[in-house]
Amino acid sequence: MQYYAAGLNNFTLKSGPPYTKLKSTYVVFFCTYDPFDQGESMYEFNFFDRKTKTIEFNAGMHIKVFNSKGKNRDLNQKMLDFLDYMNGVINHAQGYIADLQKDIDHYVNSEKWGDDMDKLAYEMNQVAMKAAEKATKKKAIEDAVTLIQALKQVDLSSEVIFEKVLQDYSNDLSSDEIKKLVEENY
pLDDT class of 4 with cuts at 50, 70, 90:
confident
Give pLDDT tens digits for 60-93: 888 999 999 999 899 999 999 999 999 999 888 8
The string of pLDDT tens digits covering residues 11-69 is 766 677 776 777 788 889 999 999 999 999 999 998 889 999 899 888 788 899 999 99
Q: What is the reported pLDDT for 66?
A: 98
pLDDT higher at 162 or 5: 162
Whether 178 shows a pLDDT value over 80: the answer reads: yes
Rg for the chain, CA atoms, rounded: 28
Residue-level pLDDT at 125: 97
Q: For residue 13, what pLDDT is reported?
A: 66
- What is the four-CA torsion angle of 108, 114, 120, 122, rounded to 10 degrees? 160
pLDDT of residue 139: 96
At residue 101 the predicted structure's pLDDT band, cuts being 50, 70 and 90, is very high
DSSP at 174? -
Q: What is the pLDDT of residue 9?
A: 66
Instruction: Describe the strand order of the beta sheet including 25-31 as a list of residue ranges.
Output: 25-31, 61-67, 42-45
pLDDT digits (tens, 9 = 90+) for 117-174: 999 999 999 999 999 999 999 999 999 999 999 999 999 999 999 999 999 999 999 9
Q: What pLDDT score does 62 carry?
A: 87
Q: How far apart are the first and last CA of the chain?
A: 48
